[in-house]
Amino acid sequence: MTSTPPAWTGIKRPQRSDARRNFDALLASAREAFGQKGPDASLEDVARRAGVGIGTLYRNFPTREALIEAVYVAEVERVVSAADAVDGLEPWPALRTWLEAFLDSIGTKHALIDALNRESAVLLDARRALYAAGEPLLRRAQDAGEVRPDVVIDDILSMLSGILGIALPDVAQRDRLLGIAFDGLRAGVSR
């Protein structure tokens, strides 16, 4: 069976080192701006934060949607690569560390998700990539008896996204809720 390449393979990083630095600076500044102000953040502000002109932004990302999509894909790639980074950890710490990388990306992803077509190939491929990265970590933790056997990766990612998607009065309450959620995943916790 041949694997279809992800839809985001069309997002090309420039080959020249100076152009690649500009591209990466634009992605980083867009992540910050979109995280703070949402998908309607000023593109001029994004370019200014990156230390480039607006023309450089448009050469790399001809539309706002192209920039939003590239930032979203960069977040997904970061979370997917975090699965490889936790490979040497014990099963539960590996899963928990990967989930924390997922949580770190959620703020940016929530800010962007409404600006993206939820049925786009890029979003569907991103979801598949996240699941493919997280499922082996979950299975390994379940096989070790550290995570409930009735949990699937969709349950976990939906639960964590839901917690971070609600308005809470402070970070302390958010952290308590996340702690409760993590505890609820563990095997052997009395219910």
Dump pLDDT digits (tens) for 139-186. Answer: 999 999 999 999 999 999 999 888 887 888 888 988 899 999 999 999
Residues 45 and 81 in one domain: no
The angle, 0 to 180 degrees and rounded to 10, between the axes of the packed helices 17-37 and 91-113 is 80
Task: Report d(CA 9, CA 182) in Å as an integer.
Answer: 34
What's the pTM value of the predicted model, to 2 decimals? 0.80
Establish if 3 belongs to a structural domain. no
Total of domains in the chain = 2
Contact yes or no for 168/174 (Cβ under 8 A)? yes
Residues 144 and 55 in one domain: no
Establish if 167 belongs to a structural domain. yes
Task: Report d(CA 167, CA 125) in Å as an integer.
Answer: 28
| Residue pLDDT, tens place only, 89-129 | 999 999 999 999 998 887 665 556 665 666 677 778 888 99
Residues 81 and 126 in one domain: yes
Q: Which domain holds residue 51?
A: 14-62
Residues 20 and 41 in one domain: yes
Q: Judging by beta carbons within 10 Å of its beta carbon (0-12, 13-18, 19+), is residue 81 exposed, middle or buried?
A: exposed
